[in-house]
Each structure stands twice: as C-alpha cells, then as structure tokens.
Amino acid sequence: MNALKVEQAQARLVSLDQFRGYTVAGMLLVNFLGGYHEVAPILKHHNTYCSYADTIMPQFFFAVGFAYRLTFLRRLRSAGVGPAVSAVIRRNLGLLLLGFVVYHLDGAVSSFSELRELGVRGFFAQAFQRELFQTLVHIALTAVWILPVIALGTGPRVLFMIASAALHLWLSQRFYLEHAWTLPVIDGGPLGFLTWTIPMIVGSLAYDAVAQRPPAGAVVSRLFGWSIVLMGLGYGLSCLGGFPASLPFFPPPEGHVVDLWTMSQRTGSTSYQTFAAGFSLAVFACFVVLCDWGSQRVGLFRTFGSNALAAYLIHPVVAEAVTPYLPKDSPLWFVQLGFLLYFAISYLLVRYLEKREIYLRL
C-alpha cells in the first residue's frame, strides 16, 4: 500500500473513531438523564417508539459491524480462515464472560437445599431470562451469528440480514413478543441477536462503501441515500401496525398498543432496528464529511472513541458515586449540574487511561 492509500485508510478510521466517540458521549447522556422526571422525553427509553435515546445502542452495533468487516478481512488475508475465525470466537467468548461478570444472572438461592430443589432445568429456566442479555452479550452473540457471512459479498449479507429479521418476526408472532413485553426483557432479550444483526451488517456494508475508494462525493451520496431508504423502510414497517404510525422521535397517541410492528428497543423490533440502522448510517455519513472531507477532530470524541469499552465499564460506576444525593424529582438545573459532574469524571478517567496508552480491547 502506498503512502496515499495509508493516509486514506487512517482518515477513514478517524471518522469511525469520532463516530464511536460521539456514540459513547450519547450513551453517557441518555443513561444518566433518562431516569429524571424533568428531562425531555426524547432523551428517555419508552419502548413504544424510537426516541433519541433508542438510537444510541444501534450505533455501537453499526460501529462494531464496520470494524468487524475491516479486521476480519485483514486477518483473513494475512493468516487464513482458521486463525480469523478463531480470533472472532475467542474475542466474543471474552465478551460473553465479561457480560456475565457485569450483568450477572437472574435470581438467586439462599441455601444449597434450595439449589438442589431448583435443579439443572430450573436453573437454566430461571437464570437466563433477562439480566445477562444486555449490550456486551448482544454484541458477542450477534457477531458470532453473522460470522458465516461477514466475509461474503453484499448479496449474501443482505439476504442473511433479511432472513434473520424474518425469523425474529415469525418467532415474535408465535410467542416471543408476548414473552419479551411481559417479562420484560432488555434490548431484545435472548433472541435479540436476530435483529441486532441489522445495524451490525449495515455497518459492514458501510465499510465496503468507504473501502472501495470511489470519489468522495459518491461515498457520501451513497451513505446518505441508503440511510434514507432504511429509515423510510423502518417507518413503513411500523405503519403495518396501523397507518399512519407516529413518526420516529414522537410519542404515539395515548392508549397505543404495542404490536409486532411497533418501534421498540425492549422487543428489538424489526421496524426499530431498520430505522435505527438507517439513522446510524446518516450520522456516520456526517462524520465522513467532517473528518474525511474536512479535518474536523473533537478531542473528547477521540478519547471516548479510542477506548469505548473502558468508558462503557467506567460510566455506571461514576453514576453510582454521583446519584445518591440527586433524587429523581430534582429540578432540571440540579440534574444538569449532576450530569456535568458525572460526565467530567467519566471523561477524566478515560482520558487518564489514554494518556498512559492503556486501552481495553477484546
């Protein structure tokens, strides 16, 4: 690769890191503010429509899909199929283990006799319902699920994405929607990987659009064009539950009943994931314009983007330290002060790691 191509590749990674850093900052914002009464509804998860808060997690999957395609193809060329597949399996087993430590299992027993009475079948029925299936575990399961197609062309990946969404729709219609809503599950629950496939594969397709090195204008046009198609398709799917559906970022009318087509992060619905994947593509396209066309760099996004896992693990610990004297009914100005303190501490800790070149990678 000549010097120009190296420089272009580095520029592309800057846009991805800046996009990832923005997503981490958004995560800190919505995870902290979402529980406070005076905060605008758009910053909260409602699970009955797509709010701004609901766009954050799909952006992580989009970024993972982009980097997944890049690193897997690179390892495939340099080491071959076996080592490339082995690296994916090891990495995602590590994520599963980390997820187990961070999220824990459901339920508990107070004595060994209670454990014996529960039995193996009861243990698996009780322990793997809800808590384990959150971000890190969803990323690991989804990455392994799409492993058979991650190195293939556009057609097979798109077909696999559609088939996964169709399977989720069928299972939801049969039993899973009721289960996911009444338990309730978190971020799609045990079958969430079927629809988290959508933003992850869309991220891998975005990598292709950038890596093919067409003229800069063509890249951005393609990214924005497909983002509009996906967002329109996601909204169109939501209308299958009743036309016209409320627009994304606007709450549905009072009394709205959640169904198979509702945009819901809780159920991981196909309409939500499709719209959110398109929204992720549009946001990423903005960073391509700013970072690849221009030379915009935000230090805060660089810090968070280059050490996203560290930020993910640090921010809830900081929140626990800040929130004991920040009640949920606090006035907005007090919530804002608490948020600024929490955000600053989280940033300083991640920045400390960056200065010492300590990065958490799996």
CA distances from 84 to 93, 97, 154, 158 (A): 14, 20, 20, 22
CB 206 within 8 A of CB 59: no
pTM of the model: 0.94
Phi and psi dihedrals of 235, rounded to 5? -65, -40
- Lowest average pLDDT, out of 128-132, 205-209, 293-297, goes to 293-297
Query: Structural domain boundaries of the chain?
Result: 3-355
- In a 13 Å sphere around the CA of 231, the CA atoms on its Cβ side amount to 17
Name the pLDDT band for 5 (thresholds 50, 70, 90). very low
End-to-end CA separation in angstroms for the chain: 27
DSSP state of 269: -
**Which residue in 301, 349, 314 sits closest to 21, CA to CA?**
301
Write down the pLDDT at residue 301. 97
Query: Percent of the chain having pLDDT more than 90?
Result: 89
Token digits of residue 244:
């016209």
How many whole angstroms separate alpha carbon 182 and alpha carbon 346? 34
Name the pLDDT band for 212 (thresholds 50, 70, 90). confident
CB 248 within 8 A of CB 235: yes
How many whole angstroms separate alpha carbon 192 and alpha carbon 188? 4
Q: Is the pLDDT of residue 246 over 80?
A: yes
Mean pLDDT of the chain: 93
Size of the chain, expressed as the number of residues it contains: 362
CA distances from 78 to 5, 72, 129, 239 (A): 18, 10, 40, 47
How many whole angstroms separate alpha carbon 324 and alpha carbon 231? 39
**pLDDT tens, 345-354?**
999 999 999 9
Q: Is the pLDDT of residue 261 over 60?
A: yes
**pLDDT tens, 160-193?**
999 999 999 999 999 999 999 999 999 999 999 9
Name the pLDDT band for 11 (thresholds 50, 70, 90). very low
How many whole angstroms separate alpha carbon 168 and alpha carbon 270? 8
CB 336 within 8 A of CB 286: no
Write down the pLDDT at residue 1. 37
Write down the pLDDT at residue 317. 97
Residue type present at position 44 = K
Transcribe 264-293 into DSSP letters: -TTTT-HHHHHHHHHHHHHHHHHHIIIIII
Write down the pLDDT at residue 4. 39
DSSP state of 306: H
Peptide bond into 331 cis (omega under 30): no
Q: Is the pLDDT of residue 7 over 60?
A: no
